[in-house]
């Protein structure tokens, strides 16, 4: 049971760090933090998470490495859901941080978004089938 929890946390960290590699997501996180701080009366000038753009490639690399660990665990222990693996793959693809692919950014976002949507749909379908039994 403890191993499953560790794998679940690792799976979540993989998806989270892959999303941080994307500038747009990082920018939206900054805006969200600024908004939340503004609600409580703290005003910021600038982006509090701007430093993440400097480490976007290493964060994405960590996410990719954790994804490979997740794949290894999936095939060796069969303790992960296929939907989570597909979701993390979509997030990693959507969060590719390399400047060389800026012209194809929309393609990667669309591909990643389709994979994420597919994984959510498969997860919901699996839950509905289980609830009917």
As for how many domains the chain has, the answer is 1
Domain of residue 81: give its range: 2-132
User: Are 50 and 20 contacting, i.e. CB atoms less than 8 angstroms apart?
Assistant: no
Q: What is the pTM of this model?
A: 0.62
Instruction: Tell me which of 51 and 107 has the higher pLDDT.
Output: 107
pLDDT digits (tens, 9 = 90+) for 47-92: 666 676 778 888 888 888 988 988 988 888 877 788 888 988 998 8
Distance separating alpha carbons of residues 81 and 13, to the nearest angstrom: 15
Give percent of the chain above pLDDT 70. 74
Where do runs of H (alpha helix) occur along the chain? 2-20, 23-39, 56-77, 82-94, 105-132
pLDDT of 18 reads 59
């Amino acid at each position: 049971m403890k191993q499953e929890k560790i794998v679940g946390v690792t799976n979540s960290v993989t998806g989270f760090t892959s999303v941080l590699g994307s500038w747009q997501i990082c920018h939206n996180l900054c805006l969200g933090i600024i908004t939340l701080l503004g609600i409580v009366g703290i005003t910021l000038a600038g982006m509090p998470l701007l430093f993440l753009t400097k480490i976007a490639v290493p964060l994405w690399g960590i996410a990719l490495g954790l994804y490979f660990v997740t794949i290894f665990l999936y095939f060796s222990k069969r303790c992960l859901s296929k939907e989570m693996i597909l979701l993390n793959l979509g997030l990693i693809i959507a969060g590719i941080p390399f400047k060389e692919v800026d012209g194809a950014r929309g393609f990667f976002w669309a591909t990643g978004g389709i994979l994420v949507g597919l994984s959510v749909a498969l997860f919901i379908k699996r839950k509905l089938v289980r609830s009917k039994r």
